Amino acid sequence: MDFEALFKQFLSGDVAQQASILRSLTIFLPELVLSSSIVLMLVARLVSLDRIIPTHWFALLGGMTSFVIVLFQFWEFGNSQTVPVEVFTGLAIHDEFSIFFRGFLTFFLVFVIALTVLTGIPDDEDAPDFYSLLCGAVVGMMLMSSANHLLMLFIGIEMASVPSYAMTGFLKGKRRSSEAALKFVVYGAGAAGVMLFGISLLTGILGTAQFSELAPRFQAVFANHAGMQDPATRCVALALLMIAVGFAFKLSLVPFHFWCPDAFHGAPAEVGGFLSVGSKAAAFALLVRLTTSLAGDGSGALSQLSLSSGLGLGLIAIITTTFGNLAAYSQRNIKRMLAYSTIAHAGYMLMAVSALLVLQSVQTDLVFQGNHQENGPRAMEGLLYYLCVYLFMNLGAFAIVALIRNQTYSEEIDDYKGLAQQVPVLAICMAICMFSLVGIPPLGGFYGKAFIFASVYEATNVHWFMWLVLAAGGLNTVISLFYYLRVAKTMCMDSRPADAVPVTLAASSSPAMYVMLVSGMVVFLGIIIDPLSKVALHAAHALF
């Protein structure tokens, strides 16, 4: 092939449903912008530009620009007859689902940067390091959400994880912080190794690493095989289990959750907030993408695969939610409590994925009263809505923790006593976030939960086990009330001890505005549900 042909292929591409390299680069623009802002930040330090322009402006500008580009891509999808394409010769995919998550992540990045500016967690000296790690992690997460290849899956996860390890240990002088980072790294490296092994097994059996090829190959390989006696079946089961371990680590599912409370406890609250929302969202995007491609159209051997993996995830979801809620009950440190609450919420969200897989395992309408085709996208809509609300309510909670820490140097729940008398704004916003985490209308958290429960209920038509999942979800909502309520109670009902460090925050100051904006969004998403729900459903349809 001569140069001209190569160049032509670069420009136009010649494979159906695949974008040319040039087009791929344009689609990849948000990630490129973020990467270049990282480079810019590091160069700016070299030439001491960061003495004149604070580093966070670079990060903020980069985040906003890439968010705007993603918005533009979304608009492009909505308006013209753009079809989903595979980019970079099939390594990644560009559809509404990936756009949704890339938008979600860049939007979240902007909010996290704004929070760190308000709380001043990286000082001027460390700012370039911190923001390059932050932006780098987000690029990794964006890769995760658009991955279309098992290799890309692994690269994305690692790219998101490595900066997270460093950020966890960002408070360099603190022993607990370093310990947390070390724990996180060791666990993470172990889980990644297991996952990589699983990936290679799967690739070996199916002969492909392309997501879109997984289901047909599976169908072909297992057309005549049956039962666990077959070595190939056992091998595939092992591979899936190993990949699941990697996901369970990222999503902090029981029994791979041990790093989570320690990491959150040691890391600054801002980083905790970032990890609890960002990496979770990206991991869910990837999990959904992988499982739906594996499940395919749910015919033949795929039906069994889809059903059993759905039920397996359902079991993990039950254990995770229950464990997370019970463990959170006894926590005295608010960050540890929020860590366990994150674990519990990962369980609720996993219920949506489980319901989706169970629903996809049936092809006929016979067992359903309603329109079966809509069931899968509905389950996804629930998950996406939940994630969006979760962004605000969790970020709000962590932001308030960070703001209070800046004044009292304490993150113990007991030290929050009677804060409503000194800073009513923080107390009210915290109460809103907490009640939304419980899932009480009219706050946003309820709708995500209700939508997910609705899908789980629908899945009970397929398998009785989903009744247990539904019951566990309901019961856990009631259990979780205890510890969320305790925070609200401590802040609003107890009286402030006389010797406690006073906290002051004017309602018109910018941190207060930030907190009000975030918790205001929680209320807003609880009253105006339609727009986001429509966007989420639209994005979910891209998968089916």
Partner 1 sequence: MSPETLLTCIVFLPAVWAIPLVLFDAKAKEAMRYWGVLGTALTFALTLQLLMQFDSSKSGMQFKFDTPWIANWNVFFSLGVDGISLPLVVLTGFVCLLSMLASWSIDKNVKGYLILFLILETGMMGVFLSLDFFLFYVFWEVMLLPMYFLIGIWGGPRREYAAIKFFLYTLAGSVLMLIAMLMFYFNSDRSFDLLELAKIASGTSAGRSHVYGMSMQVAAFIMLFIGFAIKLPSFPFHTWLPDAHVEAPTPISMILAGVLLKMGGYGIIRIAFPLCPYGAQYAAYFLAALGVFSIIYGAFAAMAQTDFKRLVAYSSVSHMGYVLLGIAVWKIVDGKTVGREYWEMGLNAAMFQMIAHGISSTGMFFMVGVLYDRVHHRDINKFGGIAQVMPHYAALAAVIFFAGLGLPGLCGFVGEVFSVLACWNFSPLLAIVAASGVILTAGYILWTMQRVYLGPEYKGPHPEALVEMNSRELAIGYTLVATAILFGVLPHLLFDPMHGSIQALTQSLASSYETLYGAIHTSQLP
Binding-site ranges for partner 1 (CB under 8 A): 369-370, 381, 424, 435, 438, 440-442, 446-447, 450-451, 453-454, 457-458, 470, 474-475, 477-478, 481-482, 485, 489, 492-493, 529-530, 533-534, 537
Give SS3 for 409. Answer: coil
Q: Using the 8-state DSSP alphabet, how is residue 496 labeled?
A: P
Tell me if 179 sits within 8 A of 135, measured CB to CB: no
Whole-number minimum distance, CB 197 to partner 1, in Å?
41
- Cβ-based nearer residue to partner 1, 232 or 507: 507
Nearer to partner 1, 93 or 488 (CB): 488
Of 189 and 450, the one with the shorter C-beta distance to partner 1 is 450
Instruction: Output DSSP code: residue 171.
Output: S
Minimum CB–partner distance for residue 432 and partner 1 (Å): 9
Distance of CA 168 to the CA centre of its chain: 17
Nearer to partner 1, 215 or 539 (CB): 539
Non-local (6+) Cβ contacts of 444 within 8 A are: 388, 389, 392, 393, 436, 521, 522, 523, 524, 525, 526
How crowded is residue 534: how many other Cβ atoms within 10 Å of its Cβ? 11
| Separation in Å, CA 419 to CA 185, 334, 365 | 36, 14, 55
A 10 A CB-CB count for 343 gives 25
Calpha distance 183→349 (Å, rounded): 25
Q: Shortest approach of partner 1 to residue 529 CB, angstroms?
A: 5
The residue among 120 and 370 lying less far from partner 1, judged by its C-beta, is: 370
Residue among 45 and 372 whose Cβ is closer to partner 1:
372
**Measured between alpha carbons, how far is 416 from 397 in angstroms, rounded to an integer?**
13
Closest distance to partner 1 from the beta carbon of 431 (Å): 8
Q: Is the Cβ–Cβ distance between 245 and 198 less than 8 Å?
A: yes
Nearer to partner 1, 105 or 356 (CB): 356
Q: Please say which residue, 135 or 438, places its beta carbon nearer to partner 1.
A: 438
Q: What is the sign, positive or negative, of the torsion defined by CA atoms of 154, 157, 160, 161?
A: negative
CB 195 within 8 A of CB 245: yes
Residue among 121 and 380 whose Cβ is closer to partner 1: 380
CB of 481 to partner 1, least distance (A): 6
Return the amino acid letter for 272.
G
Query: Least separation, in Å, of the C-beta of 148 and partner 1?
Result: 28
Q: Which CB, 54 or 441, lies closer to partner 1?
A: 441
Give Cα 137 distance to the centre of its chain.
12
Query: What is the smallest separation between the CB atom of 380 and partner 1, expressed in angstroms?
Result: 12
φ and ψ at residue 35, rounded to 5 degrees: -60, -40
Distance CA 454, CA 376 (A): 12
Map tokens 């970079």 to a residue. Answer: 88
Q: DSSP letters of 484-539?
A: HHHHHHHHHTSPPPTTSPP----TTSHHHHHHHHHHHHHHHHHH--HHHHHHHHHH
What's the closest the beta carbon of residue 530 comes to partner 1, in angstroms? 6
Give the nearest distance from C-beta 411 to partner 1 in angstroms.
Answer: 23
Taking the complex as a whole, the smallest distance from the CB of residue 291 to partner 1 amounts, in Å, to 23
245 contact partners, CB below 8 Å, separation of at least 6? 191, 194, 195, 198, 256
